[in-house]
Each structure stands twice: as C-alpha cells, then as structure tokens.
Structure 1
C-alpha cells in the first residue's frame, strides 16, 4: 500500500493518502475532502451554514457536538466561518 499524499483536507490542510478506486466506480467517500470523519462533519456544517440551510444558532449547536480541538490552526477561510458561527 502506498502512502503517497494525494489529498489535502479542506478543513485543516493536512495532506493524506486516500484510495480513489472506489470513487472511480461511483462509491463516494468522505475521504475525498477531509482527513478525518470529524473534519467531514465540520465541513458539512460550514457548507450548510454558508448556503443558508442552517442558521447561526443551529450551526453553533452542531459544531459544539464536534471535536473542535485546534480549530484556530484550521485553514484561514474555515477559521473565519467558525469564528462567525461561534460569535
């Protein structure tokens, strides 16, 4: 198994390896976007907030259920959205 970095987390920017063969046959995985399932949950909350599916209060409640450890080191655009939601 190769460990070549072929993806970068859209939340924290960490490089990671994910096998793309499942996606090639139509099976979608959270590993396409994020390095951890927790970061994928954060990704969806931010997207839902950005597109008006969740209001600020709803997004804050959902983020509070996630492990937000080290969010201050997330990518700049993610930190801005999280700060906005938590304010």
Structure 2
C-alpha cells in the first residue's frame, strides 16, 4: 500500500504505515510516530516538553542526533531545537 495514512511528528512528511503489521508494532515502533529512525531519535523533544529530562540532558541527546535536515523540520520543532541548543 502506498497511500499516506500518517505524518511525521518531526518534519510533517506524509508516509504509509501499516497499523496492523506485527513487525511495525513490535520491531519498528518508530514507524508509528516518524518517517525515519533519525527523526525518531529527536523524540527527546517530547521528553523535554513533559519535563522528564532537563535542558542539559536534551542538549546532550540532540548532540547525538543527525540534524543535517533541520531545515525541513516543522517550524515548531525547529524552534524548540534552537531553543534547547542555544539557550
């Protein structure tokens, strides 16, 4: 199936995810939230937002992320990353 039924929480890109596939639910849960593994690694933003990690922990985690495509992220995601990295 090639139809779009999900949108990446980081960049907003549409993609298809099989909600009933055992592989997706058990081995690739990132597919239910983001379109790529590297975007899923930015889920530290959620942890920062709900205050389960502090700014320094979020900054350290983001330092480990590939942010080379930051320019395609949703504006609010870009702003949050910039806030964490530069404050």
Superposed pair shares fold, TM > 0.5: yes
Q: What residue is the counterpart of 2:38 in the other structure? A: 38
Q: Deviations over 1:36-57 (max 9, x none)?
A: 11111102x0011111111111
Structure 1 outlier segments of 4+, above 6 Å = none
Q: What is the aligned length?
A: 82
Mapping for residues 49-64 of structure 1, pairs under 5 Å: 49-64=48-63
TM-score, normalized by length of structure 1?
0.84
Q: 1:1-87 counterparts in 2 under 5 A?
A: 2-22=1-21, 27=25, 29-43=29-43, 45-87=44-86
TM score, norm. by length of structure 2: 0.84
* Partners of 1:15 and 1:37 in 2: CA distance: 15
Superposition RMSD in Å: 1.5
Shift of 1:73: 2.3
1 CA distance for matches of 2:13 and 2:42?
Answer: 15
Q: Unaligned 5+ residue runs, structure 1?
A: none
